[in-house]
Amino acid sequence: MNKVRKAVIPVAGLGTRFLPATKSIPKEMLPVVDRPVVQYAVDEAFEAGIEHIVFVTGRNKQAIEDYFDVAPELMETLRGGGKAEQHGTLERLLPGAGQTTFTRQQAPLGLGHAVWCARDVIGNEPFALILPDMVSYGARGCLAEAMDVYNVSGGNVIAVEECDLTETHKYGIVGRGAEIGTGFEVTGMVEKPAAGKAPSNFYINGRYVLQPEIFALLETQERGAGGEIQLTDAMVRLSASQKFYAKPFSGRMFDCGSKEGFIEANVAFALARRDLGDTVHDLVGNLLRDHETRSVAA
């Protein structure tokens, strides 16, 4: 079984749900507490044993490339100003020399197209795919857990979570087959099935291990839902010749591409922080009490 060494992180989307903020700030740079969303994706990749990260960027995304570069003046100022802790954090979070590649998606034609743009950098080896606006929250990262299954099953692995059966129309849903390791064989994939038409309640949550044969299929993939080149459509075609497995994530994802998920992630990550948890707990408690008092008065 070939080792998964590289991860693709697509960051070329327009982030229209976060306009007007995303007019000048990439949505992947919006912070959850004090780290940009994309930093969580990079940390998760390295935790899972990834050695090289391929960012698929687009216009107006320069801030992401700058963020993952050295900042000599800032580092010097922090060192000189006795801010050793911040200096150490920045040093620790920076990927090593030669561990990142930035390639361009010239137009946001969809996730499938963004992944296809990484084909030459990935070459003929399996790779991980991390959708950065899905932020992983749990004892271990979601990709590390998906890799546990890959190390037993090989093939293609999709991380999944369970949703309410009435919510299947919002997600890509996989059918559940025989167990393998801590995961199961995928019997089918359907994009956004109506309630009652879904093969299960396991939805695709934004972490994948894919075989390089996906690229040839993406090359000829026609536009699907929303007029975009959809990754799921190409995965469905690949499943005719290759096995797909699913790993139910033991933690949970926050959808930081949506306002509700982003706010929820900020509260959850802040509550989990030793330096902030108690204060934020009290702040949120007070806000809720005020809110309820006002609702009753109204």
Number of residues this chain uses to bind ligand UTP (CB under 6 A):
21
We find the least distance from the C-beta atom of residue 14 to ligand UTP, in angstroms, to be: 5
CA distance 194 to 204: 16
Residue 110 as a binder of ligand UTP (CB under 6 A): the answer is yes
Closest CB to ligand UTP among residues 132, 155: 132
CA-closest candidate to residue 175, choices 183, 167, 187: 187
Among 75, 90, 94, 109, binds ligand UTP (CB under 6 A): 109
We find the least distance from the C-beta atom of residue 188 to ligand UTP, in angstroms, to be: 23
CA-closest candidate to residue 155, choices 2, 40, 28, 298: 2
Residue 257 as a binder of ligand UTP (CB under 6 A): the answer is yes
Environment class of 208 (CB within 10 Å of its CB; exposed 0-12, middle 13-18, buried 19+): buried
Among 7, 8, 12, 235, binds ligand UTP (CB under 6 A): 12
Partner residues linked to 137 by β-bridges? 252
Closest CB to ligand UTP among residues 213, 228: 228
Residue 114 as a binder of ligand UTP (CB under 6 A): the answer is yes
Residue 209 as a binder of ligand UTP (CB under 6 A): the answer is no
Residue 15 as a binder of ligand UTP (CB under 6 A): the answer is yes
Backbone conformation region of residue 98, classed left if phi is above 0, alpha if psi is from -120 to 50, else beta: left
CA-closest candidate to residue 262, choices 29, 32, 22: 32
We find the least distance from the C-beta atom of residue 151 to ligand UTP, in angstroms, to be: 26
Among 7, 10, 55, 214, binds ligand UTP (CB under 6 A): 10
Q: Which residues, 6+ apart, have CB-to-CB distance to 284 below 8 Å?
A: 267, 271
We find the least distance from the C-beta atom of residue 57 to ligand UTP, in angstroms, to be: 8
Contact (Cβ atoms closer than 8 angstroms) between residue 100 and residue 53: yes
Residues 36-95 that bind ligand UTP (CB under 6 A): 56
Closest CB to ligand UTP among residues 110, 155: 110
Residue 132 as a binder of ligand UTP (CB under 6 A): the answer is yes
Residue 135 as a binder of ligand UTP (CB under 6 A): the answer is no
Closest CB to ligand UTP among residues 106, 182: 106
Of the listed pieces 91-99, 128-136, 176-184, 263-271, which binds ligand UTP according to CB under 6 A? Answer: 128-136
Contact (Cβ atoms closer than 8 angstroms) between residue 145 and residue 264: no
Q: Which residue is nearest to ligand UTP (CB)?
A: 13
Site string for ligand UTP, 211-240 (x = CB under 6 A): ------------------------------
Residues making contact with ligand UTP (CB under 6 A): 10-17, 28, 56, 105, 108-111, 113-114, 131-133, 257
